[in-house]
Each structure stands twice: as structure tokens, then as C-alpha cells.
Amino acid sequence: MTQPPMDPTASKRATVRRHRRERQILLFGLLLIGMAVAGVFFASVYKGDTEGPFAEPFVTPASEFETEVNVACPPGGALPMEPTEIPIRVLNATDKSGLAGTTAADLKGRGFVVTGAGNYPRPYDGSVRIIYGEEGLVEAYTLSNYFTEFEMVLDTRDSAVSDLVIGDAYDPATTLRAQGAPELDPETPFVRPQQCVPVELVAPEPAPRVIPDNPLVEASSSPSAEASDVPQEGDN
């Protein structure tokens, strides 16, 4: 009994289906092998036996960081200090005689440790400039809370004593906050400026040749306040 001849079209379709199954088997086999290799790799990374592709932090090294922002951020979550823990020197940058002395008296009455009052050697048309060193960052931010307008400048001083410079725009009636102002709540963390960087990334200005001794430390290597190169009020 003879079989009928096979339809050439049916034979071709069978060949195509066989090749398709072979390709599918090969593809799934490769996928399974890839998944197995990936599983072994990530298990090794999880155990710490292998360093992952994202082991390096997504940060720019400090030595390569560049920015035009020159304002230091307050320490995260830091609270204001007591005024009795903050030494300051008050400097008058205006032609109003006695302004440093009256401002110093106001701040001393609020508990600040005033190391002296004198004239600032350069004019300043702003309201208040707080000049501080990295060691006095929290002290400077605490002092800034007492003013509605201020500018903070970091310099290279190795001291917690800050200089408070009074400028032409200073008005004690509006610039110096009232003692009961909510901004002076000692339990309220500092308000972070909109644009600031960690203090170690700020380019500091040169410090004055002489910084007053910090009376809150037992020993100080700073030159004496009496030998300051800042002229006293009334000298000019």
C-alpha cells in the first residue's frame, strides 16, 4: 500500500516550526544562563565577597567641588547657644560716633560676652555683618538670630570670638529683635539659608591681624585685646 506524496507546502511549514522551536529553546536557555550568572553575582555582592558596580558614592570629591555660594550652613539640627557662651567684639563701620558702644551695651544686657567695642577700618553700607571663624559657627548663627538683617562672613581666625560689624543701614529699632521674639526661642533649630554649603567648602577671607582673647576659655594663644589693631571709637 503506497502513501500519498507529502504536500511540499506542509513540509516547509513543519521545517519552519521546527527551526522556530529550536531558536526559542536556545533563547530561553541563554536567558536562564544569564539569570543564573546574575543571581550568583548579586548574591556575592550581597555577602560582600564582590564589590558592586555602584560601590562608589555619588558625590563630588571636596577637592574638585566648585561653587559661587560662600555661605556656610549651620550644623544639622543644631540649637542656639546661650548668649552667655558667646564672645563678640562690636565694631562701628559708620560715621555715627558711639554706635559700637551703645550696641555693645544692648547685647551685653542680653547676656553676650562683649570683648570690646571699636571702629571698623573700612566702610560698610549694609546693616549687620557677622565675621567668624570655623570654630565659632554655632556662636555666629546664634548671634544672627538677634537681627532681622545680617550678612555672615567666614574668615581664617582660629577663635570662637565673632566680630559684629554695624553698618550704615543698621537701625536698632528694626534690626535688633525684641527680647521676646519667637526667632530667639532656644529650642528652635537654626533656619538653613536657601543657598549654603558645608563650612569646610567655604573659601574664608583673611582674618584680622589681632583677635581678642576669648574670655570663656582658661588659656588663649590669641594676642591681647588691648593690643588690637582695631581703633577704639573716637580715635578717628
Give 78-105 pLDDT, tens digit per residue. Answer: 999 999 999 999 999 999 999 999 999 9
Query: Is 202 buried (19+), middle (13-18) or exposed (0-12) by CB count in 10 A?
Result: buried
**How far lies 66's CA from each of 23, 70, 135, 199, 203, in Å?**
54, 10, 23, 13, 10
pTM for the structure as a whole: 0.67
Query: Which one has a higher pLDDT value, 5 or 156?
Result: 156
Q: Decide if pLDDT at 69 tops 70.
A: yes
* Highest mean pLDDT pick, 51-55, 160-164, 208-212: 160-164
Asked whether the beta carbons of 59 and 171 are under 8 A apart, the reply is no
**pLDDT of the residue at 199:** 95
Beta strands 162-166; 128-132: pairing state: antiparallel
Q: What angle do CA 33, 25, 39 make, to 5 degrees?
A: 15
Helix ranges (H only) for 52-180 are 99-109, 137-144
**How far lies 199's CA from each of 17, 28, 47, 133, 179, in Å?**
70, 56, 37, 10, 29
- Please, what is the average pLDDT of the chain? 83
Question: How does pLDDT run across 22-44, given as a tens digit for each residue?
Answer: 777 877 778 888 888 877 777 77
Residue 188 confidence class, pLDDT cut points 50, 70, 90 = very high
Residue entry with cell 536657601: 194
Separation of alpha carbons 193 and 148, rounded Å? 14
